[in-house]
Amino acid sequence: MAPDGFYRVALGVEYKGSRYSGWQRQLTGVATVQEELEKALSKVANSPVSLQCAGRTDAGVHACGQVVHFDTQVDRSLKAWVMGANINLPHDISVSWAKVMPAHFHARFKAIARRYRYVIYNDQIRPAHLNEEITWNHRPLDVERMAEAAQYLIGTHDFSAFRAGQCQAKSPIKKMHHLRVTRHGKMIVLDIRANAFLHHMVRNIAGVLMTIGAGERPVEWMKEVLESRERRSGGVTAHPYGLYLVQVEYHDEFPLPERFIGPHFLTGFSELDG
């Protein structure tokens, strides 16, 4: 709950994570998205601002649908929060909207689903453009095999085999709502929606899917990895650069402004909608 005399503001945030050590502020003085955003908002408020986010992204991971909230006593218009923050933010972080929320809203604990996209550039030649915003895989990948393997993960499962050793989640059991694999020219998009995610879960799934897509393992290997519940059976962790937090969902009592599902360079592919 927001303290008495304070009101709670939610923000939509997007960022390129390449030069940050993840979302969460750290004691070592390394650059993080949270620190940059808190500094910018504190200038707008002329007082300290402390943020809570919907999902703490790792080093190198991007977001175009991150949701955060903070409590403040300062009277500012919603436009002032957005424009004021953006004036004070570096070029690779942007606030897209602001909204006053009920006092019991919480960006993280009230979220009911999160959605990520992992973007693979599939060609023999490494790309000169977007090289920190997509993952390059030079091996020809069979999207149909990848899509077939992905179906083993739909539903409620113990995802321990896709969980990083340093994961702090209380339970490895998550509900996967969808996992779609589609090709768009040279790009392959993994679109993953679940109630919550474990540390490195999407990147570990992407690593298994690319191994299957390259023909190095059979489609059924996905089922074997899942049922093993052991991380060492799941192959390599895919690079962070292609990973985007694209959407966070809440119950209807917490309506938020709607924007396109990113990242920006995929918005022209209508078949990704939905």
Q: What is the rounded average pLDDT of the residues 4-8?
A: 86
Beta carbons within 8 Å of 115's beta carbon, 6+ residues apart:
65, 191, 192, 193, 245, 246, 247, 248, 249, 261
123 is catalytic: no
State which H helix or E strand residue 40 sits in. Answer: helix 33-45
- ∠91-97-98 over CA atoms, to 5°? 120
Q: Can you give the pLDDT at residue 185?
A: 93
pLDDT per residue over 52-73, tens digit each?
A: 999 999 999 999 999 999 999 9
Q: Does the pLDDT of residue 237 top 80, yes or no?
A: yes
Q: How many CB atoms lie within 10 A of CB 6?
A: 14
89 Cβ partners below 8 Å, 6+ apart?
A: 36, 37, 40, 95
Once rounded to an integer, what is the mean pLDDT over residues 137-165? 95
Binding site residues, as ranges? 116
CB 64 within 8 Å of CB 16: no
> Among 58, 71, 75, 123, which one carries the catalytic annotation?
58
Pick from 98-112, 238-252, 259-273: least confident: 259-273
Label residue 31 by pLDDT band (50, 70, 90). very high
The whole-angstrom separation of Cα 51 and Cα 9 is 10
Confidence of residue 272 (pLDDT cuts 50, 70, 90): confident
The pLDDT value given to residue 161: 92
- Range in 163-172, 191-200, 254-263 with the lowest mean pLDDT: 163-172
At residue 135, what are phi and psi to the nearest 5 degrees?
Answer: -100, 125
| pLDDT at 274 (0 to 100) | 60
User: Which residue numbers belong to the known binding site for substrate?
Assistant: 116
Residues 64 and 61: their CA atoms lie apart, in Å, by 11
Distance between CA atoms of residues 57 and 208, nearest Å: 20
For the CA atoms of 141, 272, 153, 142, the dihedral, rounded to the nearest 10 degrees, stands at -10
